[in-house]
Amino acid sequence: MQVEFLPSGIYLPEIDLWLDNVEPCGATWISHGHSDHARGCHGKVIGTSTTLRIYRMRLWLPEGETEPEILPLEFGETLDWNGSALTAFPASHILGAAQLLVEFRGERLVYTGDIKLRPPLCGNTTEPIPCDRLIVESTFGLPIYQLLDRNEATAQIVRFAKSCLEDGATPAFIGYPLGRGQEIVHVLCQAGICTAVHGAIAKFIPIYEEAGYQFCGWEAYEARSTAGKALVVIPSHGNVLEASGKNIRLAYVSGWAALDNARSRSGAERLIPYSDHADFNELLSMVAQCAPKHIDVVHGYTLPFAKILQKRGYSAAAPQRASERTNIEAEG
C-alpha cells in the first residue's frame, strides 16, 4: 500500500484517505482528540464518536465554511472505504483514542496514533493488531523511559495528596488539559479527596462522565480558596502556584518526569513518571506482538527508535521528521 508521509499528516493515495491530517483536506481519520491530531476543517472526518465529539469542541469553523461530515467508527466496527476496509481498535492513550487497521488488496496496515499498551487510568485497554505494515509513534522510544503502571501511579498520587494535606500544605498536580488531567482528578475523587480543577481540564470532565467515569466532589479551581484541597492544574499554571506564596507542593505526573532534569524543568517536588504513551519496553512489546514486515516510526525519538528496531532485525524507517509536526500540547 502506498503511504506518503507529509508535514501535515500521512496520506494513503490509493484509497484517498489521510491519517491525522491537521490541514484542511477531503477526508481524514482522526486517531484521538489531542490538538496535534484533531484539528482542521475537513470534508469528512472518521474516528470514534468520543474523539469526534472532542474534535467538534475544538473546531473553529470559518464563516461560510461547510460543517465536516462526521463518520463515527466505534471499536470493532468496520467501514468500507474506497475499496478498503477500515476497522477501529482501542489505543489506551486517552478516552476515545483508536488505532486504525486498513485492509487493502490483501495487505494489513495499522496506524497506532498515540498509544500505550498497559491499561490507562480511564479509558479502553488496547490490543496489538497483527499486520504487514505498522506505523507507530515513539514519544518515549528510548531505554531511559521506564514508566509506572496505573496501580503504582494511583498509589503515588493518593499518597502524595494525603501527606501534603496532613502537613497542612496544598498538593498541586500538574497534568495536561486532556487525558492526564481528568485521570488525576478521577483518582483523587475516587480516594475521597476534595479536589479543585483548572478550567482547561474541567471542560472535558463531562465527556469522561458520559463514558461512565465518576467524578464526585470536585469543584472549579479558585485562587482564593485552595486550603484543604488538592489542586489539578495545567503545566503553565504550576509557576503561578509557585509564585503565589502559599504553602503549595507540586507533583508532576508525566512521562517526562522520568528524566534526570525533570525536577528543575518542572519545579515539582514529587515526580510521578506516568504517561498515556507507551514506555520503551511497551513499544518493543507491541512491535513484537504485531509482527509486521515493516515499521514506520513517527513522532518522538523516530530515528533512534527506528535504529533500535533495525538492530533487533526489523525492517524499520523514520520517514517523517519529528520537527515537521507541531505538538501544541507537548503531551507526554
Burial of 268 (0-12, 13-18, 19+ CB in 10 A): buried
Q: State the DSSP H helix or E strand holding residue 99, giving kind and residue range, or none if neither.
A: strand 98-104
Query: Which lies closer to Zn ion via its Cβ, residue 137 or residue 296?
Result: 137
Burial of 228 (0-12, 13-18, 19+ CB in 10 A): exposed
Q: Is 137 in the site for Zn ion (CB under 5 A)?
A: no
* Amino acid letter, 17: L
- Please report the DSSP string for 180-221 in residue order: HHHHHHHHHHHTT--EEE-HHHHTTHHHHHHTT----SEEE-
The single residue listed with the C-alpha cell 495528596 is 161
Q: Given the rule CB under 5 A, which of 12-20, 34-42, 227-235, 242-250 is the region that contacts Zn ion?
A: 34-42
Q: How many CB atoms lie within 10 A of CB 62?
A: 7
Q: Given the rule CB under 5 A, which of 29-37, 136-144, 149-157, 196-204 is the region that contacts Zn ion?
A: 29-37
Q: How many residues bind Zn ion (CB under 5 A)?
A: 2
Query: Which lies closer to Zn ion via its Cβ, residue 171 or residue 177?
Result: 177
Instruction: Characterize the bridge pairing of strands 78-81 and 84-90.
Output: antiparallel
Q: Is 133 in the site for Zn ion (CB under 5 A)?
A: no
Q: Given the rule CB under 5 A, which of 98-106, 113-121, 228-236, 292-300 is the region that contacts Zn ion?
A: 113-121
Contacts of 313 (CB under 8 A, 6+ apart): none
Sign of CA dihedral 123, 129, 135, 137: positive
Q: Is 180 in the site for Zn ion (CB under 5 A)?
A: no
Query: Which lies closer to Zn ion via its Cβ, residue 120 or residue 171?
Result: 120
Which of 12, 22, 34, 274 contacts Zn ion by CB under 5 A? Answer: 34
Q: Is 299 in the site for Zn ion (CB under 5 A)?
A: no
Minimal distance, residue 197 CB to Zn ion, in Å: 20
Minimal distance, residue 120 CB to Zn ion, in Å: 12
Q: Is 42 in the site for Zn ion (CB under 5 A)?
A: no
Query: Which lies closer to Zn ion via its Cβ, residue 114 or residue 296?
Result: 114
Q: Is 282 in the site for Zn ion (CB under 5 A)?
A: no
Which of 18, 110, 114, 234 contacts Zn ion by CB under 5 A? Answer: 114
Q: Is 270 in the site for Zn ion (CB under 5 A)?
A: no
Minimal distance, residue 316 CB to Zn ion, in Å: 22
Burial of 168 (0-12, 13-18, 19+ CB in 10 A): exposed
As given in the structure block, the three cell numbers for residue 167 are: 502537613
Alpha carbons within 13 A on the beta-carbon side of 228:
2
Query: Which lies closer to Zn ion via its Cβ, residue 14 or residue 329?
Result: 329
Q: Is 20 in the site for Zn ion (CB under 5 A)?
A: no
Query: Which lies closer to Zn ion via its Cβ, residue 81 or residue 256?
Result: 256
Q: Given the rule CB under 5 A, which of 52-60, 108-116, 155-163, 287-295 is the region that contacts Zn ion?
A: 108-116
d(C-alpha 148, C-alpha 243), whole Å: 30
d(C-alpha 95, C-alpha 86), whole Å: 20
Query: Which lies closer to Zn ion via its Cβ, residue 186 or residue 249?
Result: 186
Residues that bind Zn ion (CB under 5 A): 34, 114
